Amino acid sequence: LSEAALARMSSYRARDMANTAWSFARLKSVDLNLLEALAQKAMVKIRDCLPQELSNLAWAMATLQFLDAQLLDAIAAQAIAKIREFSVQHLANTVWAFATLGYLHRPLLAAISKEALARIADFEPQALTNT
C-alpha cells in the first residue's frame, strides 16, 4: 500500500495528501519513507489545504507520532491564516495534534484559543475535552 501511494505521490493534490496521511494513521501504519514523502509534498501543497485537510494532516502525524517541525510550522501558519474557516472539530483536532506531539506553537495556540472562546457555545463535549 505504501509503495502504491509513493508511486502516485507526484500527482497528489492537497486533499490526496491529507487523505493518504489520515488513512495510514487510521490503520496505525507507520512507514517512515511514506511519512517523509508526505511531509515534503505537504510543504509544496500546504497553501492549497482546506481547514479539514490541515487538521487531518496534523491529526495523522500526531497519531503516527511523526514530528516534522517544518511541516508543523507550515500547518500552523496556514491554520492561523484560515482559522475562521475551521469548524470546532478542526480546532479541537489541531490543538490535540500539536499537544500530542509536544510541539508548542504559541501563535497557533493563541489563534485557536481566541477562536474557540468566540465559539464556545458551538463545541460538543468531546471537542471541549480535546481543546
pLDDT digits (tens, 9 = 90+) for 92-129: 999 999 999 999 999 999 999 999 999 888 777 665 56
In angstroms, rounded to a whole number, what is the distance separating the alpha carbons of residues 8 and 46? 18
71-90 mean pLDDT: 96
Cα 111 to Cα 37, 71, 127, distances in angstroms: 29, 18, 16
- Residue among 12, 93, 107 nearest 60 (CA): 93
Q: Quote the pLDDT of residue 127.
A: 54
Q: Quote the pLDDT of residue 119.
A: 87
14-41 mean pLDDT: 93
Q: Is the pLDDT of residue 131 over 60?
A: no
What burial class does residue 8 get, using C-beta atoms within 10 Å of its C-beta: 0-12 exposed, 13-18 middle, 19+ buried?
A: exposed
**pTM for this structure?**
0.89
In angstroms, rounded to a whole number, what is the distance separating the alpha carbons of residues 57 and 118? 24
